[in-house]
């Protein structure tokens, strides 16, 4: 442990979880972020010192004078011309990526790491709740805000178990050596980093190779891990599959019924069936993620009675199939979906729940490269809507690419009603529409509109 931890980009979901960890360990935590948010304001109320101007002059003297007793943590989204980053680099400070720091924290712990190009945040959050409330307890670093814990970090000082979201971006998850790994999906994504889908898959294979001796791999049925089966056998890794209801999987839901707006479930496992599970979150995508979370929890000591008790208490994740308004006139759901496969799964789940109702979606594309690489796939998924309102691309860490705008998606969308809209005009546009079911989807700053849209619809 160092005395000081300084986060450049402290408002990021992964960065803020680490900041909370070190703050609870008694270190002095400082940080910079470009803009204030609900999350950074929460960190400040927890005692962390944060500012919002990129300036070496804003770095506290207590940090500047403690080169050997300070760790600087950075996120890949920080541009290389960031003034504070360059101050630390030019003055001999130890600078680590977020993923490296998470790897160091997990190094000597029993780690359950959940990876996948989609589904990992909900699965990690469900797993962390199930294990934390069990007799064994659990710490967790999450990629979203758990509604149960109202945080992206869960602390249990007694438990050696850690549940973590393992991020494939920038090959971050190669810093983890888990005892249990869950892999939910290996779709083509982050091609600005990987180049090809084959390279994405190989990166997940490398993550699986890093499972510790006598560990466990749990992966969605249909993902092919045969190419590394010999590597897994060398480490005596047990391999299980899961699915929503496919009976050829090791873990699956034998029965799914809906009563009183909640799921009643029977889970099939290699250890026996578990019936009378009551699960209150909407959408079969959530049920599938629950299968994965239950599998990860059961192989890590969760009992049948604990599973039955805790599943009913799971409240989900902010911005993951997050029902914000539900009344007689309108339903409003917010979701983080930002990949074509995620969008398709989200829209189809909502269609199933609200059959016969008009479905309007507001989508903000995330990254120029992702828009360029998957424009046709985005258009196919968004064409499942009855009405589309399409925002401009959120650039995040990227500079514009000539010819790449939201319009290359818009022109291929086939739903009858579609509109391109600026963020500035979004609320006014909504005021003039007759809405039945509305969804906001995207990974950029579309979340800033969730509260005003909620207030407008209420």
Check whether 355 has a pLDDT greater than 90: no
Local confidence band at 47 (pLDDT 50, 70, 90 cut-offs): very high
DSSP for 127-182 reads HHHHHHTSTT--EEEEEEEETTTTEEEE--TT--EEEEEE--GGGGGGG---SEEE
* Residue 46 structure tokens: 């927890």
Check whether 190 has a pLDDT greater than 90: no
Task: For residue 344, count other CB atoms closer than 10 A to its CB.
Answer: 17
Local confidence band at 353 (pLDDT 50, 70, 90 cut-offs): confident
* Residue 139 structure tokens: 């710490």
DSSP for 358-407 reads -EEEEEE-B-HHHHHHHHHHHHHHHTTSSEEEEPPPB-TT----TT-STH
For the stretch 119-173, pLDDT in tens is: 999 999 999 999 999 999 999 999 999 999 999 999 998 999 999 999 998 899 9
Mean pLDDT across 193-219: 96
Mean pLDDT across 162-191: 93
Under 8 Å between Cβ of 387 and 415: yes
Check whether 331 has a pLDDT greater than 80: yes
Residue ranges of the chain assigned to CATH 3.40.1190.10: 107-311
H-run or E-run covering 29: strand 28-32
Q: How far apart are CA 438 and CA 446, in angstroms?
A: 14
Longest CA span, the chain:
64
Tell me which residue has tokens 């710490």: 139
Q: How far apart are CA 207 and CA 173, in angstroms?
A: 7
Check whether 79 has a pLDDT greater than 80: yes
Q: How far apart are CA 452 and CA 428, in angstroms?
A: 11
Q: How far apart are CA 437 and CA 361, in angstroms?
A: 8
Residue ranges of the chain assigned to CATH 3.90.190.20: 322-457
Q: How far apart are CA 66 and CA 73, in angstroms?
A: 15
Q: How far apart are CA 455 and CA 458, in angstroms?
A: 5
- Whole-angstrom CA distances from 100 to 12, 87, 131, 373 are 16, 21, 25, 29
Under 8 Å between Cβ of 438 and 453: yes
Q: Which option is the CATH number for 322-457: 3.40.50.460, 3.30.1300.10, 3.90.190.20, 3.40.109.10?
A: 3.90.190.20
Q: What pLDDT score does 319 carry? A: 84
CATH topology classification for 107-311: 3.40.1190
- Whole-angstrom CA distances from 110 to 113, 146, 167, 175, 398 are 10, 21, 18, 14, 36
Mean pLDDT across 180-190: 93
Residue ranges of the chain assigned to CATH 3.40.50.720: 4-98
Q: What pLDDT score does 396 carry? A: 84
DSSP 447: G
Cross-strand pairs, 161:
110
Local confidence band at 252 (pLDDT 50, 70, 90 cut-offs): very high
Mean pLDDT across 307-317: 95
Check whether 261 has a pLDDT greater than 80: no
Counting every residue written for the chain, the total comes to 458
CATH topology classification for 4-98: Rossmann fold (3.40.50)
Q: What is the pTM of this model?
A: 0.85
Local confidence band at 278 (pLDDT 50, 70, 90 cut-offs): very high
């Amino acid at each position: 442990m160092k005395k000081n931890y300084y986060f450049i980009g402290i408002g990021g979901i992964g960065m803020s979880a680490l900041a909370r960890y070190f703050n609870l360990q008694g270190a002095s935590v400082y940080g910079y972020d470009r803009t204030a948010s609900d999350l950074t304001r929460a960190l400040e109320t927890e005692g962390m010192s944060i500012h919002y101007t990129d300036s070496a002059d804003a770095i506290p003297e207590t940090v500047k004078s403690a080169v050997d007793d300070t760790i600087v943590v950075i996120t890949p989204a920080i541009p290389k011309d960031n003034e504070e980053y360059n101050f630390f680099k030019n003055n001999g400070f130890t600078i680590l990526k977020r993923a490296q720091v998470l790897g160091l924290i997990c190094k000597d712990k029993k780690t359950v790491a959940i990876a996948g190009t989609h589904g990992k945040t909900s699965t990690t959050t469900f797993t962390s709740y199930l294990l934390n409330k069990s007799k064994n307890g659990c710490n967790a670093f999450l990629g979203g805000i758990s509604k149960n814990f109202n945080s992206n970090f869960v602390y249990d000082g007694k438990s050696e178990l850690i549940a973590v979201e393992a991020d494939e971006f920038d090959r971050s998850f190669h810093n983890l050596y888990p005892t249990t790994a869950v892999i939910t999906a290996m779709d083509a994504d982050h091609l600005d980093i990987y180049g090809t889908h084959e390279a994405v898959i190989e990166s997940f294979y490398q993550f699986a190779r890093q499972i510790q001796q006598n560990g466990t791999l749990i992966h969605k049925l249909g993902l092919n891990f045969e190419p590394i089966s010999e590597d897994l056998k060398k480490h005596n890794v047990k391999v299980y599959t899961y699915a929503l209801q496919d009976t050829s999987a090791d873990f699956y839901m034998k029965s799914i019924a809906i009563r009183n707006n909640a799921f009643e479930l029977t889970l099939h496992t290699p250890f026996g069936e578990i019936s009378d599970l009551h699960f209150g979150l909407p959408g079969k995508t959530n049920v599938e993620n629950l299968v994965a979370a239950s599998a990860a929890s059961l192989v890590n000591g969760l009992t049948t009675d604990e599973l039955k008790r805790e599943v009913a208490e799971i409240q989900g994740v902010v911005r993951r199939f997050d029902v914000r308004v539900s009344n007689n006139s309108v339903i409003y759901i917010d979701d983080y979906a930002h990949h074509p496969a995620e969008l398709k799964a989200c829209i189809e789940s909502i269609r199933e729940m609200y059959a016969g109702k008009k479905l309007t979606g507001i989508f903000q594309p995330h990254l120029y490269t992702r828009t360029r690489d998957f424009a046709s796939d985005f258009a196919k998924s968004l064409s499942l809507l009855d009405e589309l309102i399409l925002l401009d691309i959120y650039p995040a860490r990227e500079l514009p690419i000539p010819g790449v705008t939201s319009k290359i998606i818009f022109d291929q969308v086939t739903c009858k009603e579609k509109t391109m809209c600026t963020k500035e005009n979004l609320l006014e546009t909504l005021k003039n529409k007759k809405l039945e079911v509305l969804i906001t989807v995207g990974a950029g700053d579309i979340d800033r509109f969730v509260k005003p849209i909620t207030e407008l619809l209420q």
